[in-house]
């Protein structure tokens, strides 16, 4: 009698450990795809916001007017806007309280660096999970495969004559775990590499803007 090697049958008849491995890989894969789409939208929005703010900043408008427009918004500023807002606010505050150029500029630069660090944390959020999923999923799948093959060979020890039809279903169901591990890992690795590069470029843009804005504040104070 031919063994039923359909995917559904192989998964349903797999051992408990192999089923748990498959379930874990399925959860990792679904959550990875959720993060991939969410991160794609977040980075696209961050790049558009950066482009829009740079156009406004370098258009020749007064910094006071730009600060008032940004600070009047109901939602918190992010990215370059956030760095500009906290830096200019601190610059104006310190300039009113002291005439020492070093204190004013150092204070403004310090709060901008803090804002930049927070932006870096926000941009890098969820990237560690994608890296972990990409590096560990194949091994989780391999564990399920090894466990399934072990069960197949243990079952063969209880029979007098082994045939290919007896061992094939067990090996096939075990290899599904490896396939699921690769299916979970490959998109996660690709997304992690791509998004890491895009995050690095955004961080460099933020850092460059911070230095340029600091130079402008320095000239204004002088």
List pLDDT tens digits, range 16-58: 888 888 899 999 999 999 999 999 999 999 999 999 999 988 8
Specify the number of domains making up the chain. Answer: 1
Identify the band that residue 222 occupies on the pLDDT scale cut at 50, 70 and 90: low
Residue 5 has pLDDT above 60, yes or no: no
**Other beta carbons within 10 Å of 181:** 26
Identify the band that residue 181 occupies on the pLDDT scale cut at 50, 70 and 90: very high
Residue 74 domain flag: yes
Least confident of 73-77, 103-107, 160-164, 192-196: 160-164
Identify the band that residue 13 occupies on the pLDDT scale cut at 50, 70 and 90: low
Residue 2 domain flag: no
Torsion of CA 62, 63, 67, 70, to 10 degrees: 70
Q: What is the rounded distance in angstroms from the CA atom of residue 151 to the CA atom of residue 219? A: 75
Go through 140-149 and write b for each residue having 16 or more CB atoms within 10 A of its CB, e for each that does not.
bbbbbbebbb
Domain boundaries, position 68: 7-221
Identify the band that residue 1 occupies on the pLDDT scale cut at 50, 70 and 90: very low
Helix pair angle (79-97, 164-221), 10° resolution:
30
196 and 188 in contact (C-beta within 8 Å)? no
Q: What is the rounded distance in angstroms from the CA atom of residue 151 to the CA atom of residue 171? A: 9
Residue 1 domain flag: no
Report the predicted TM-score, pTM, of the whole model to 2 decimal places.
0.82
What are the distances in angstroms from CA 176 to CA 32, 46, 66, 117, 161?
A: 19, 39, 58, 43, 26
Q: What is the rounded distance in angstroms from the CA atom of residue 213 to the CA atom of residue 82? A: 13
Mean pLDDT of 154-172: 65
pLDDT at 101: 73
Cα angle 124, 129, 135; round to 5: 120
Average pLDDT of the chain to the nearest whole number: 85
- Which parts of 91-221 are beta strand (E)? none
Residue 2 has pLDDT above 50, yes or no: no
């Amino acid at each position: 009698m031919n063994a039923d090697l359909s995917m559904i049958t192989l998964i349903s008849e797999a051992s408990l450990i192999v089923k748990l491995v498959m379930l874990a890989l399925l959860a990792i894969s679904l959550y990875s795809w959720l993060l991939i789409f969410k991160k794609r939208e977040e980075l696209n929005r961050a790049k558009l916001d950066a482009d829009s703010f740079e156009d406004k900043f370098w258009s020749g408008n007064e910094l006071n007017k730009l600060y008032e427009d940004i600070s009047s918004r109901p939602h918190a500023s992010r990215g370059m806007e956030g760095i500009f807002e906290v830096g200019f606010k601190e610059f104006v505050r310190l300039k009113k309280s002291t005439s020492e150029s070093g204190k004013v500029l150092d204070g403004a630069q310090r709060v901008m660096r803090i804002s930049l660090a927070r932006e870096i944390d926000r941009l890098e959020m969820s990237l560690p999970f994608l890296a972990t999923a990409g590096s560990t999923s194949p091994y989780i799948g391999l564990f399920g495969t090894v466990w399934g093959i072990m069960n197949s060979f243990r079952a063969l020890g209880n029979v007098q004559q082994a045939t290919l039809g007896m061992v094939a279903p067990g090996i096939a169901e075990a290899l599904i775990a490896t396939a699921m591990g690769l299916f979970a890992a490959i998109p996660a690795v690709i997304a992690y590499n791509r998004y890491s590069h895009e995050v690095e470029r955004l961080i460099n843009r933020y850092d460059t803007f911070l230095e340029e804005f600091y130079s402008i504040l320095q000239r204004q104070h002088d």
